Structure 1
Amino acid sequence: MYTPPAFRVDDRAEIHTMMRACRLATLVTATAEGLLATPLPLILAEEEGEFGVLHGHLARANPQWKAAAIGEAMVLFNGPDAYVTPSWYETKRETGKVVPTWNYQAVHAYGPAEFFDDPERLLDAVTRLTNLHEGTRAEPWTVDDAPPEFVKAQLRGIVGLRIPITRLEGKRKMSQNRPLADRVGVAEGLAQSERPGDLAVAAMVPIES
């Protein structure tokens, strides 16, 4: 990922926070048949290994797990993003030397994709993923709420995924390379939007001098 120094995120804890905020990542593998990609909810076990380990599962019918990967897999975690019009820049009124751009944050995680179909490991992965997303609900659903035989049947339809992360790239482009007056204009402009992504980006634009 091309990342100028102004936008690079190096702090591992911060990168992990960015990854956890992305509820649906994209698994990409290069194969002899070409690139394959699958959107997946994943669990980040940051206490495992040097950079953390990703856990998840794919549908057994998905051909991606059957195609031997060439090199490491890449997982894309995309955060809030928003179009930035140059009309919000104070620099536009001063010089006119401005162009449109896009604000966003992203993390690319790399590592070998390990697939498995052991029932106990699959049940553990599914249970952890369920608990992660149900945990904040007033009455969370748990895997135990479903009949055991039904759960076993469902597990036969998926394949587990484990990716020990070997490398992380973090990028946050939130107008931080612009003068303060331009950043204030961007934050105020985005704050007028009805799009949730625009509002999220508005709150991330640094407006402290």
Structure 2
Amino acid sequence: MNPKHDVTGVILAGGQGRRMGGCDKGWVELDGRPLVALALERLAPQVAEVVIVANRHLDAYRRLPARVVCDAEAGYHGPLMGIYSAMRAAATPWVAITPCDSPALPHDLVMRLAEAVGDVDIAAAHDGERLHPVVALLRTRLADDLHAALQGGERAIRRWYTDHAWRPVDFADCPESFANLNTEDERRRLEMRLQQEKGNP
């Protein structure tokens, strides 16, 4: 698998942002830039193209250099619906999903997932302590199965994963790369990390 040809990168930005007062987290600023722009900058060099799944502020998202799709069904059905919507839009055999509020993901994230996936259908990042199910590589052909699961009321990513051949991928060497932004303390820590990266390219 060559991620630059076989993988569509996906930024999930369609959530309700409940833990941050219902804001659209893609447009929360970190180090003076929107989270979605930082996520796009990190993911785009690793994949064939990037799709952003968003459900509001669509005009703003469409000004970014990426394709924008909405959830296939309205009503904020969670990340599984975002994954399904991206799979439906992808022209590649694989999708690499990431959340919009994890701007420091590894520069080699997709390659490491691709190298580890082997003969399974899903590879999800594990930071040595916890699984990150919304940072994963999935076969696009799972779209029909996922649609059926959604129609049956499934909303839990981990539970749907266990219905398929999947494996965790070890990223214990860089657990801090999977930090996301839900509080002001997390914002400060992420800003410090990004500033350190700028000073140590």
What TM bracket, shorter-length normalisation? under 0.3
- TM-score between both structures, scaled by the size of structure 1: 0.20
Larger Rg over CA atoms: 1
Greater RCO (CA < 8 Å, at least 6 residues apart): 1
- Which structure: greater helix fraction? 2
Q: What TM-score does the superposition give when structure 2 sets the normalisation length? A: 0.21
Specify which structure has the higher proportion of strand.
1
